[in-house]
Structure 1
């Protein structure tokens, strides 16, 4: 336990702080604040680095996260992440899910316009690609909920379907 306390001091005083991973959050909270319900680790926008405090946990709306500015303030998720449920500072410092890439053979991004939803993908029909498995919507698919794999069709005439 003494090693852990020394690590925290070095981390917060000599190096850029990284918020703990989910698995380590509870231990860090108890060591730092003696309580899980008070520990918060968020990005401080004014200093552009992560900071901890022992004030209280809080939550924000779907599609956003909280940051220090210097008090709690709403912030949009980073472009590579999304938040489909209410964000809480209890165990989180970033929006919880990574967005899908739509980067497999024949895949293109169909839509990436929301911080509360994953990106949607489509197959590049102009180059002969179509979905391996027909998705719920014939034009695009949601990679977090269905298979968005594409394959190349060998035929002479293709349509948008």
Structure 2
């Protein structure tokens, strides 16, 4: 193929470590998630980037790994700065005495097979499905949001329709 028709990559094409925020959707985040992103940004600015710059200046090979590392660090710094600027912190502890499911809730539910699961509804920058931290935009979270302890909710997923029973709803306590 002619090189004129091949798109060259640049730093703007870097893949985000989490899904991009859909257009028109608010960037909700828990206070803990916001703090985690701030801490990571500060570490990149104060420790990782200076170390990568130092390694880059000590290297005679301009195509060495430290340069790539610096590029990755700069991309992550830009990403974090953008996400922190648009973040809307939602303190779920205001619902600590409630039984209704809102952003930040930790929900225990049971499916039709009797299997119990626990999830915490968080922002896109905090999701970690392996740890039960799901995005508030996910089909499961959308099915749960607004429900109360004891409610049955319907989940429509690629696997089909499923009824879930909400067992418990918990919120973090203010710190």
TM-score, with normalisation over the residues of structure 1? Answer: 0.25
Bigger proportion of residues as helix = 2
Q: Does 1 or 2 have the higher relative contact order (CA < 8 Å, sep 6+)? A: 2
TM-score, with normalisation over the residues of structure 2? Answer: 0.24
